[in-house]
Chains A and B, each alone.
Chain A
Amino acid sequence: MLEVNIHKLKLKNPVMTASGTFGYGEEFADFIDINRLGGIIVKGTTGSHREGNPYPRMAETPSGMLNAVGLQNVGVDAFCENIYPRIQHFDTNVIVNVSGSTIDEYCQTAEKINALDNIPAIELNISCPNVKKGGMGFGTNPEMAAQVVSEVRKVYNKTLIVKLTPNVTNITEIAVAVEGAGADSVSLINTMLGMAIDVERRKPMLSTITGGLSGAAVKPVAVRMVWQVAKAVKIPVIGLGGISSTNDALEFLMAGATAIEIGTANFIDPTITIKIIEGIQEYLDRHNIKDIKDIIGII
């Protein structure tokens, strides 16, 4: 059995897709049956339309990539009006990643998403490294993290997942703070702040100089942080960071993640999510494990 629960959310399997790597799901519908996924977390959505950062926004690095997209998105109103009607019928958990520059912006966006019947959860993004205001600023300080979560909690009554940044001294401190403020789950890790330089041009690779590192390179760090956080909080943990194979997914589950998100690997193999769902089932069968919950957090 692959079913898991994240607070009130029932997932048919623990495999979800990470925000910003899977568009609104539609982009992948030619390659896989979206309805087979445990959930999809759609593009980071803010109070109003954002153009994001200037090009270049991406640099390939060893076993990974840096991005500095900067939350380019249509804004919550256009999401509700134009995109939600197209994706609300997916037979999976469609979760919206919510971001902002101010607590008011987070709350207003969350409140609008709360009104959408077929969005059972939001992932509160207090961890984006690529915006000047807000984003990671909220996620690196326990008091500020708790404050934004408790304010959003007042206007949002479905499952509230909070996405954490690894760019902190002690991630468990932030996790405990947002749990205390009313989060139903935490997801981690968002990208790690990084930088790359084109030595021939003697210029940074990204227009913003620094950006977020994702992909296989960050996986061991992510597994460690998931393990630490899972020990520190009672709410379910969602693990992500470089998951590219069944083995990677199993590592996160064993480290304490109830569910996982696949991100950058979608760019390399648009069918990877389904391969990992099938791979996890095959692993359980091979080891004669009836319920996936029997391996969650065994380390």
Chain B
Amino acid sequence: MKKYISDFTIVEKQTYGQQYFKLVLKHPDILPEILPGQFVEVEVKDNKNVYLRRPISIHDVDIEANTLSLLIQIVGKGTATLSHLTIGDKLNLVYPLGKGFSIEGKNVLLIGGGCGLAPLLHTARCYSNKGIRPKVLLGGRTADLIPIKEEFNTFADLYFATEDGSLGEKGLVTTHSIFLQSYDRIVTCGPNPMMKAIARYANEKGIECEVSLENSMACGIGACLCCVADTDNGHKCVCKEGPVFNAKDLIKWSNS
């Protein structure tokens, strides 16, 4: 897929508690095709301690409005700087990057942990466009740490797991009763321990499973080889050969 670099304009901003915010970004012209699970590299200006771009997964895409949205968790100085942006500000993006989810299967479970739910909204939308209504399981320590909820209802049946029991079942996503049912595909993005457990489960049960990895990156386009994941086929760039990997290629990783 062709990659681009453009200045987008922030047309909407929403904050969700202390940690999360969403930016809706309007493309200057016509947005190219964007696959669910792809990401952008965002330029961070006005912070002399931030040198590199920040990889952020694409949360949603509105082709008609020519917008894409980013759901961002404040985890460091780069994302903190981005959180100060306001409507009307410009943001330079390199996009769309990486391999997305394959949007296959009929009986599909999408699992997001914390900010890992970000790419799953566009993913759920794409399944819905194919006439498939996936189940979506979102998890977090508390209900407040699951920033986006109702937005999924249009495309998916929604379930929750929270460690304090404040929303949905009490416990981790991996112990949710949704696993009593069977699936032909699982798609997941979230903290590594969660994804490793899900990848092991899927591999044991022989369920197709796609995992979206997050590693720190420099270039985002497969040039610097900094963001590699240790896959069963050797070091692979998360930015170019991922971020979406088939769990079958991550057996060593999922057991580590």
Q: Is the CB of A27 within 8 A of B218?
A: no
Q: Is the Cβ of A63 less than 8 Å from the Cβ of B216?
A: no
Which residues of chain B are near A57, meaning CB under 8 Å?
225-226, 228
Interfacial residues of chain B within 87-143, with CB under 8 A of chain A in the complex: 94
Chain A window 52-66, contacts with chain B (Cβ cutoff 8 Å), 1 for yes, 0 for no: 101111111111110
Is the CB–CB distance between B226 and A268 below 8 Å? no
Interface flags, A85-113, vs B, CB<8A=1, else 0: 00000000000000000000000000000
B189 at the interface (CB under 8 A from A): no
Q: Whole-angstrom distance from the CB of B45 to the nearest CB of chain A?
A: 11
Do B226 and A58 touch across chains, with their CB atoms under 8 A apart? yes
Main SS at interface, chain A:
loop
Q: Among B51, B221, B235, B240, which residue has its beta carbon within 8 angstroms of that of A60?
A: B51
Q: Residue of A at shortest CB range from B2? A: A30
* Chain B at the A interface: SS class: loop
Question: Which residues on B sit within 8 Å (CB–CB) of A120?
Answer: none
A67 touches B224 (CB 8 A): yes
Q: Nearest Cβ in chain B — how far from A238, in angstroms?
A: 20
**Among A43, A55, A267: residue with most chain B CB under 10 A:** A267
- Judged by a CB distance under 8 angstroms, whether A182 is at the interface is no
| Mask: chain B, 13-33; 1 = CB below 8 Å from A; 0 = not | 000000000000000000000
Of chain B, the residue at the smallest CB distance from A50 is: B235
Partner pick for A52 among B3, B50, B219, B225, CB 8 A cutoff: B225
Could you say which interface size class chain B belongs to?
Answer: 20 to 34
B51 touches A27 (CB 8 A): no
Q: Does A141 have its Cβ within 8 Å of any Cβ on chain B?
A: no
- Give the CA-CA distance A170 to B224 in the complex, in Å: 29
Given the complex, which residues of B lie within 8 Å of A271, measured CB to CB?
Answer: 5
- Which residues of chain A are near B49, meaning CB under 8 Å? 62
CA distance A65 to B219 in the complex (A): 12
Decide yes or no whether A31 CB sits under 8 A from chain B: yes
In the complex, what residues of B have CB within 8 A of residue A220's CB? none
Q: Does B223 contact A (CB under 8 A)?
A: yes
Question: Which residues of chain A come closer than 8 Å to B195, judged between CB atoms?
Answer: none
Interface residue? B84 (CB, 8 A) = no
The closest CB in chain B to the CB of A263 belongs to B224
Interface residues of A in 255-273 (CB under 8 A from B): 264, 266-271
**Inside 8 A of B221's CB, which chain A residues have their CB?**
23, 27-28, 270
Per-residue contact bits, chain B 214-256, to A (CB 8 Å; 1 contact, 0 not): 0111111111111111100011000010000000000000000
Shortest beta-carbon distance from B213 to chain A in Å: 10
Q: CA separation between A270 and B4, bound complex, in Å?
A: 10
Contact A61 B51 (CB under 8 A): yes
Q: Are A69 and B226 interface neighbours, CB within 8 A?
A: yes
Neighbouring A residues of B224 by C-beta, 8 Å:
20-21, 58, 67, 69, 267
Q: Are A30 and B226 in contact (CB under 8 A)?
A: no
Q: How far is the CA of A31 from the CA of B222 in the complex (A)?
A: 14
| Contact of A54 with B4 at beta-carbon distance under 8 Å, contacts A27-B221, A62-B49 already known | no
Q: Quick check: is B43 within 8 A (CB to CB) of the other chain?
A: yes
Pairwise interchain contact B50-A266, C-beta atoms closer than 8 A: no
In the bound complex, do residue A268 and residue B51 qualify as a contact, i.e. CB atoms below 8 Å apart? yes
User: Nearest B residue to A205 by beta-carbon distance?
Assistant: B216
Within the assembled complex, what's the spacing in Å between the Cα atoms of A270 and B3? 11
Answer yes or no: A278 CB below 8 A from chain B CBs.
Answer: no
Q: Which residues of A contact B222 (CB under 8 A)?
A: 23, 27
A216 CA to B52 CA in the complex, in Å?
A: 11
Q: In the assembly, what is the distance between CA of A45 and CA of B128, in Å? A: 46
- The reply to whether B223 and A268 contact each other, CB–CB distance below 8 Å, is no
Contact A64 B215 (CB under 8 A): no
Q: Say whether A62 contacts B43, CB under 8 Å.
A: no
Q: Which residues of the other chain, A, contact B229 by a CB distance below 8 angstroms?
A: 55
Measured in the bound complex, the distance between the Cα atoms of B218 and A164 in whole Å is 24
Residue B53 CB within 8 A of the other chain: yes
* Residues 168-192 (chain A) with a chain B CB within 8 angstroms: none
Task: Decide if A51 is an interface residue (CB 8 Å cutoff).
Answer: yes
Chain B 145-186 interface residues, beta-carbon cutoff 8 Å to A: none
Q: Is A118 in contact with chain B by the CB < 8 A criterion?
A: no
Q: Among A21, A58, A270, point to the contact of B5 (Cβ < 8 A).
A: A270
User: In the complex, are the beta carbons of A52 and B228 less than 8 A apart?
Assistant: yes
Interface residues of A (CB under 8 A from B): 20-23, 27-28, 30-31, 43, 51-52, 54-65, 67, 69, 72, 215-216, 264, 266-271
Closest 4 A/B residue pairs (Cβ): A58-B226, A23-B223, A267-B219, A30-B3
22 A/B residue pairs, CB under 8 Å, sorted by A: A23-B221, A23-B222, A27-B221, A30-B3, A31-B4, A31-B94, A43-B225, A55-B229, A55-B235, A57-B228, A58-B218, A58-B224, A58-B227, A59-B216, A61-B51, A62-B48, A67-B218, A67-B226, A216-B51, A264-B218, A266-B219, A270-B5
